[in-house]
Structure 1
């Protein structure tokens, strides 16, 4: 599973189906009947007044004046919040486990040496190969490649199962159980078990994506049940809680490791143990709060569930090419490279800092703690740039910043200066990532056409995962070709440059918005025609692309 940090700041509203006349009558609403013009006009006024009252009640904020973290009696929001406290430490524990796996793989082939203080460290530029197949330094990126390929190939199927069957809750619980069991087993990561543990880690990366997909599917439902103001408060709380759980986990593990002078392997074992206890409690409590739900859509006769997710992706791609070739198309082409670049940046950084520059697991924990803390002001920087310009410029600026920052770090950091300068680099990495994710989601939220929010958010998630395996694969190939790891890091951040080039192909942001709004009417007509031709067709789509909704405020 890759270590990635995501701070998303925008949620997409799931479109609601109009209430039928029968439902309106059953709910006590006045329904216009045939009669004289005056009677019909009076009835229409009554309906309008009744609907206005319902709208006022619907958006009345029951949490006004309360602490922003209060969820009241909204059980799903509470469960969603607790699930964040499980996902955060899982991602952070990967840092310590990755360091231990690199050390144990190096030890397997005799690529460790004793340090002056009596400790052991990995030999730089070790040319020995594990099982004659790959170098120890390529182990973590190989894990990321396997996880990325599994997600790219299987997530559309998982999304279709979540959307077309009543098994959303079961999938969430099953993935939580499997993740927990693997985390418990990985407490036994030692010299004789490291390779099976590495295989389990690759599988965990896929289960982690399944867990997020099933969890995020509840977000549109929560959004429909509360006001916009309440949803904003919920989202802010989810972000703070997950962010806090990650930071607290890092502080605890680093503190224990420093207090008892643990080596990388023992630190990883402690990390997995504490993480296991945490997720057992969090997953159990959270999923007991999340309800079982019916299928959101029904397969038409002759349709096959196995292919439904892929078919929906193809239909969405054709719709974007037809209606939004100057706006959304270029944004999603940019996402194809931006998201894999950002995710791989953190994965490759773990290898670069631990294997080449010699940072221990504890020191890596401190490094990423600095990154986490500095992501907060990074978000403020993104807001400031957006106010002065627009989301497109802000998004491209954050990617260019990370591109330049990656090159500077790769070319300047050495074993001699990494202890002081490496943490300064971490500060700027945090600023860059903290600016990248909010600006990315803000851009998307402003170009989502009316009525296809769920469809586009699912397609966005799939685009973000489609090439997730490519940057770590390129790093692995360079390492195996005996190329210095710093050039592998530079190659990884070049994905940001490609993303900037893609998004720069779109016109000015005002014209992007103009194209999106102009095509809203065309989509309404198109969908109306489709519905008339096939009454079973529904406009709303959900998780079959890979996820029904983006995690609006997550730090993963």
Structure 2
């Protein structure tokens, strides 16, 4: 996931020379500047609340990865696939007639599909009702409850835990939607908002880092199996998430009124889809450059999100890695994401954001191909840690690039609407790579080919970036669109004032 849409190491205003507080290039390194970005005692309580909530979400997100190997093991044992020969393994099936190696990807397909369908409805609830706080507290409670119940993971309960994984994955996305508006409301000052964004991004990685350290520091000395490691991780997740979510939503994050009223002639269930449809029509007719960018985000985010699920299956079934080993690999990836952010800054400085994004996804493709075709089996699993190292750099490179591009190419007087579309595009086809992998896996295609299939989405995403044209030309179009839309608003206001015979002494001028 991706996904995490507030992992901004900069804002569009933090260009060199325009940000006294966070100097550096248009991206900057969260790691290098983390001491400047941490929260301060005089920051509003909402900032502390979002930071603590994000810390809890980082822990929950990491727990999804740590329970994956246990689900695969439990599904294998429940069907007796662990005691048969390698020749018979391909024909082994669990309930429903599917392979045990398809369990994680099927969970991702179901959760991703439901999340995508329901996001416009949930977004409308955030915009048109005063229930944001209630929904945030409710989704936090559901996450804690699901994580607590997942402690019972075993060969006899794996199906129940798989259903809980679907519920918690959907709830995780909805909880993110309740927290993001609090982030955008923290400050109107660009440098302050940048500092908040960076601090909150760091808290997410810190949560994932702490869960990895705590789980592995207990599981490795005890030499636990995959199920034991998963239980330890879920116990730690349940206790820590209950405290962090409870404190942030009970004491720090306040209630908020509705942003606006439901438009006449519609209802809450329809208005989210109507707004999404209207945005898509405007992208098609007036903002074609943004259309190509959103399509690239959809495919590239789908490919990146698919790596966590498909990669876990690849490491477990193809390389024979244990839960502790897979957890250690993702721990390495978290650490190396920070150098990836610095690499993004350097490449962008030497070229431009579009070229940097293309190089990032080409790098992703090369790493995935290396894992798929050079790691032949359990004898090569030690080399997988090198792949994890390079995966971390790729993830650290990718996320800041998307954030930088969207913040510099959207018309500033349409920022709220376009950012909502940006968040939606991160989720809209996240279910497609797991579905493609499941299809290949069920027809008998080797798992390493399934991992390589993720690159198809990166290739399509690169093609859409190329359709956008040159970065400087896109910036000029953005400024022109902002100016034209502001002029239309000025003329509309002037005509209204003329009708009322109330002429303004000054006119609003666009800021470019």
Same fold (TM over 0.5): yes
Equivalent residue, structure 2, for 1:9: 8
What is the aligned residue count? 478
- Of 106, 129, 142 in structure 1, the residue corresponding to residue 76 of structure 2 is 106
The alpha-carbon deviation at position 5 of structure 1 amounts to: 7.0
SS, match of residue 452 in structure 1: helix
Distance between the aligned counterparts of 1:124 and 1:256, measured in 2? 36
Contact 2:124 2:272 in 1 (8 A): yes
The alpha-carbon deviation at position 124 of structure 1 amounts to: 9.4
Distance between the aligned counterparts of 1:531 and 1:482, measured in 2? 65
Equivalent residue, structure 2, for 1:474: 436
Write the mapping of 1:483-522 to structure 2, written as runs, cut at 5 A: 483-522=445-484
Equivalent residue, structure 1, for 2:44: 74
- Of 274, 277, 292 in structure 2, the residue corresponding to residue 311 of structure 1 is 274
SS, match of residue 256 in structure 2: coil
Distance between the aligned counterparts of 1:5 and 1:421, measured in 2? 28
The alpha-carbon deviation at position 231 of structure 1 amounts to: 2.2
Distance change (3 Å), C-alpha of 1:68 and 1:192: closer
Write the mapping of 1:114-133 to structure 2, written as runs, cut at 5 A: 125-133=89-97
Distance between the aligned counterparts of 1:422 and 1:4, measured in 2? 23
Contact 1:324 1:515 in 2 (8 A): no
Equivalent residue, structure 1, for 2:118: 154
Q: Which has the higher contact order (CA 8 A, sep 6+)?
A: 1
Distance between the aligned counterparts of 2:49 and 2:405, measured in 1? 28
Contact 2:375 2:384 in 1 (8 A): yes
Distance between the aligned counterparts of 1:139 and 1:165, measured in 2? 37
Distance change (3 Å), C-alpha of 1:438 and 1:66: closer
The alpha-carbon deviation at position 370 of structure 1 amounts to: 0.7
Equivalent residue, structure 2, for 1:138: 102
SS, match of residue 222 in structure 1: coil
Distance between the aligned counterparts of 1:432 and 1:373, measured in 2? 12
The alpha-carbon deviation at position 240 of structure 1 amounts to: 2.2
The alpha-carbon deviation at position 417 of structure 1 amounts to: 3.8
| TM, length-normalised to structure 1 | 0.81
- Of 195, 203, 223 in structure 2, the residue corresponding to residue 261 of structure 1 is 223
Larger Rg: 1
Contact 1:147 1:202 in 2 (8 A): yes
Write the mapping of 1:216-365 to structure 2, written as runs, cut at 5 A: 216-224=180-188, 227-288=189-250, 289-325=252-288, 327-365=289-327
- The one-character-per-residue Cα deviations of 1:15-67 (angstroms, maximum 9, x if unpaired) are xxxxxxxxxxxxxxxxxxxxxxxxxxxxxxxxxxxxxxxxxxxx999xxx988
The alpha-carbon deviation at position 10 of structure 1 amounts to: 5.6
Equivalent residue, structure 1, for 2:139: 175
Equivalent residue, structure 1, for 2:28: none
Distance change (3 Å), C-alpha of 1:531 and 1:201: farther
Distance between the aligned counterparts of 1:250 and 1:499, measured in 2? 31
- The one-character-per-residue Cα deviations of 1:474-528 (angstroms, maximum 9, x if unpaired) are 0000000000011111111220111001110121111111111111122224556
* Gapped regions of structure 1 (runs ≥ 5): 14-58, 115-120, 535-556
Matched, 1:84 2:54: yes
Contact 2:39 2:48 in 1 (8 A): no
SS, match of residue 224 in structure 2: coil
Equivalent residue, structure 2, for 1:432: 394
Contact 1:367 1:426 in 2 (8 A): yes
- Of 381, 387, 400 in structure 2, the residue corresponding to residue 419 of structure 1 is 381
Distance between the aligned counterparts of 1:454 and 1:131, measured in 2? 46
Contact 1:162 1:295 in 2 (8 A): yes
Distance between the aligned counterparts of 1:461 and 1:240, measured in 2? 19
Distance change (3 Å), C-alpha of 1:94 and 1:68: closer
Contact 2:72 2:103 in 1 (8 A): yes
Distance change (3 Å), C-alpha of 1:124 and 1:321: farther
Contact 2:92 2:99 in 1 (8 A): yes
SS, match of residue 134 in structure 1: coil
SS, match of residue 187 in structure 2: helix
SS, match of residue 91 in structure 2: coil
SS, match of residue 414 in structure 1: coil
Write the mapping of 1:334-413 to structure 2, written as runs, cut at 5 A: 334-413=296-375
Distance change (3 Å), C-alpha of 1:257 and 1:302: same
Provide runs of 4+ in structure 1 moved above 6 Å: 121-124, 528-534
Contact 2:357 2:401 in 1 (8 A): yes
The alpha-carbon deviation at position 530 of structure 1 amounts to: 8.0
* Gapped regions of structure 2 (runs ≥ 5): 13-19, 23-34, 497-512
SS, match of residue 92 in structure 1: helix
Equivalent residue, structure 2, for 1:45: none
Distance between the aligned counterparts of 1:220 and 1:3, measured in 2? 18
Distance between the aligned counterparts of 1:242 and 1:270, measured in 2? 20
Distance between the aligned counterparts of 1:101 and 1:388, measured in 2? 45
Distance between the aligned counterparts of 2:49 and 2:187, measured in 1? 14
The alpha-carbon deviation at position 259 of structure 1 amounts to: 0.5
- The one-character-per-residue Cα deviations of 1:352-384 (angstroms, maximum 9, x if unpaired) are 001221110000011001111110101100000
